[in-house]
Amino acid sequence: MVTSITRVLSYLGLMPLVMALIMRFISPDQAVMMASWIETYLFMIVVFLAGAQWGLHLRNESSQFQSKCIAVISIGLALSAWVMFQVYDHHGYLNYVLGLLIALCGADYYLMKSKWITLDYFKLRGMITLCLIFLMVCWMLI
């Protein structure tokens, strides 16, 4: 069950990206600094979302194969986000994060179908992912 505080905190997590987008209009000469900041914040979000899936592995260790798959996938996504954070330039990294967010959403769909997460939680994660993608695309188009 997703509580109202969970929803509020989830959407508040998007506020730094919204504020950075607004700041890009107010102070376009700071775009490079804000781009670096956004990359760092997106890295933290991807690792947090992957960590939530890894936490499900800890909670459901009775289903050994599925549990190990979830652990490997979530750790792999978090590590790949870190490696690409070190390697890619700004636009390359944002494109890669888009792919990671879609992969995490796909993993969430699998978890929902496997009854590891509720439909309500899946919908919340899906909405947050759509908002993140929208904000990232807006940032790249400006």
Unique residue bearing structure tokens 């987008």: 21
Q: Helices marked H in the chain — which ranges?
A: 4-12, 15-26, 31-59, 64-87, 90-113, 119-141
Q: What is the pLDDT of residues 107-136, one digit of tens each?
A: 889 888 988 889 999 999 999 999 999 998
- List the one residue out of 47, 53, 52, 51 whose CA is nearest residue 66: 53
Q: Please report the domains of the chain, with CATH numbers, ordered by start residue.
A: 34-141 (1.20.1440)
- From CA 97, how far away is CA 112, in angstroms rounded? 22
Q: What is the pLDDT of residues 18-40, one digit of tens each?
A: 998 888 888 888 878 888 888 88
Q: Are 117 and 2 in contact (CB under 8 A)?
A: no
Ramachandran sector of residue 88 (left: φ over 0; alpha: ψ -120 to 50; beta: rest):
beta
Unique residue bearing structure tokens 């899936």: 53
Q: What is the pTM of this model?
A: 0.81
The DSSP 8-state label assigned to residue 30 in this structure reads G
- From CA 43, how far away is CA 36, in angstroms rounded? 11
The pLDDT > 70 percentage for the chain reads 95
